[in-house]
């Protein structure tokens, strides 16, 4: 549910366009770059190791960067 809320609040056209592009592809895993794959894998590692932050805390950190 948090992911859906995050997606609905996106304002970055580049991110939105990339997500739409991936959603339209049959196998988006073949569509993304090696760098993007590495970022995804690092994210999985971070989650597995508990290196995560609550969405509300991240929003507070970036509230002044709009």
- Dist. CA 40–CA 8, nearest whole Å: 21
Output the pLDDT for position 38.
92
5 closest CA partner among 54, 63, 65:
54
Interval 11-53: pLDDT, tens: 888 888 888 887 777 777 777 889 998 998 998 898 889 888 8
Domain residue spans in the chain?
1-32, 33-66
């Amino acid at each position: 549910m948090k992911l859906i809320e995050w997606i609905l609040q996106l304002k970055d056209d580049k991110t939105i366009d990339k997500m739409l592009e991936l959603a339209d592809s049959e196998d988006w895993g073949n569509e993304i770059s090696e760098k993007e794959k590495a970022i995804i894998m690092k994210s999985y590692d971070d989650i597995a190791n508990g290196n995560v932050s609550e969405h509300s805390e991240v929003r507070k950190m970036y509230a002044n960067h709009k």
